[in-house]
Chains A and B, each alone.
Chain A
Amino acid sequence: MVPPMNRIHLILGMFCLALIFGKPAAALAGEPLDQLKGSTDKVLSILSDPAMKGPGKVKERRELILKTVDERFDWEEMARRSLARHWAQRTPEEKKEFISLFRELLERVYADRVEGYSWNKIHYDEERIDGNFAAIKVKIFTAKDQVIQVEYRVSKKGNHWMVYDISVEGVSLVNNYRTQFNEIIVKSSYQELIKRLRAKSVQN
């Protein structure tokens, strides 16, 4: 039997130990989510800014939004993951060109959707951190009261958690482009893929 006084010491000691060693990840929890939320809030504030409204401001507004998105999106990682096993065969120049074409492609596809924003509310559901990687689940409530489930995948680069994939309703952006790019490269060639991406960028 342990004397009562010692027992209190024992409990206190265990409590301190638990404080020191218990779940170091818990102390970091929230960082990826906070950073993502910060960027999203910034985009939303640009969109709702009365000074940024009107047809004359479209270009300026888009540039401002893109700047914010650039701070949070890891374009190189996204491009690398989308090109998958074809990435290693490219020269540094080709990689650079591909990243910029890929960024333009996403910009074109998503800018209109973001600008035609009719989101009522964004609910940050949950965040799962696994070392230098994290997944953040977000629910977007549209003006029509529909719920769109979005999941962000982020990885830590220095002090920043950068987005490298987005899934909307369980469909991943990287997986989608990975399949498409692979099909084009396998059927014809990498040059053909670049040709198509360039043609798309000229269209705009």
Chain B
Amino acid sequence: MVGFFLIAGVFCLGYLSIKLGKMEVFGAKGYEVYAVFSNSGGLKVGSSIVIAGVEVGRVRDIVLEDYQARVALTLSKDVKIQEDAIASIKTKGLVGEKYLEITPGGSEKIIPPGGKVRETLPPVDIEELISKLLFEKI
């Protein structure tokens, strides 16, 4: 009897950690595309990808490639991304975590699985912009 509760407890713990950690056990549902950013500043594996504020996927991987950040995105399979869609790294609030926003384009061409989101925008460095504003007054 004790053994049963122990096993049930371990199972629940496992389930919780997977759910809370937002890991995928049986392979991610959906497809993968990639995007190259000149700077991925603060984006992490697991960061959410949104369109119009709705989460449509997650960042699966970030690696350095030719001194740029190559970000692999897992998108849910019912979401289609046009070839001229723009992927930009945004911040939740002023100092919150980073996420990736996609503004859909109007092209008839859809990025296939494994394809590349060509239009990307690095995060805007608020600190730098503020300092530029300040320095102009001198």
* Residues of A near any B CB (own CB < 8 A): 80-81, 83-88, 130, 133, 137, 144, 146, 153, 165, 167, 169-172, 174-175, 178-179, 182
Contact = CB atoms under 8 A, between A and B. Distances in A.
B84 interface: yes
| Majority secondary structure of chain A interface residues (helix, strand, loop or mixed) | mixed
Interface stretch (B20-28, B53-61, B70-78, B117-125): B117-125
Interface residues of B, number: 22
A170 B125 contact: yes
Interface of B: 38, 82, 84, 86, 88, 103-106, 108, 118-119, 121-125, 128-129, 132, 135-136
Given A85-B106, A88-B108, A170 B86 contact: no
Contacts of B88: 172, 175
Contacts of A84: 82, 84, 103-106
B103 A144 contact: no
Contacts, number: 57
Contacts of A86: 106
A175 B121 contact: yes
B49 to A, nearest CB: 16
B106 A165 contact: no
B67 to A, nearest CB: 10
B103 A171 contact: no
A92 to B, nearest CB: 15
Contact of A170 (B82, B123, B132): B123
A146 B124 contact: no
B86 A130 contact: no
Given A84-B84, A172-B121, A175-B88, 6 more contacts: A84-B103, A84-B106, A88-B108, A169-B128, A170-B121, A174-B86
Contact of B129 (A167, A169, A182): A169
A133 B123 CA distance: 22
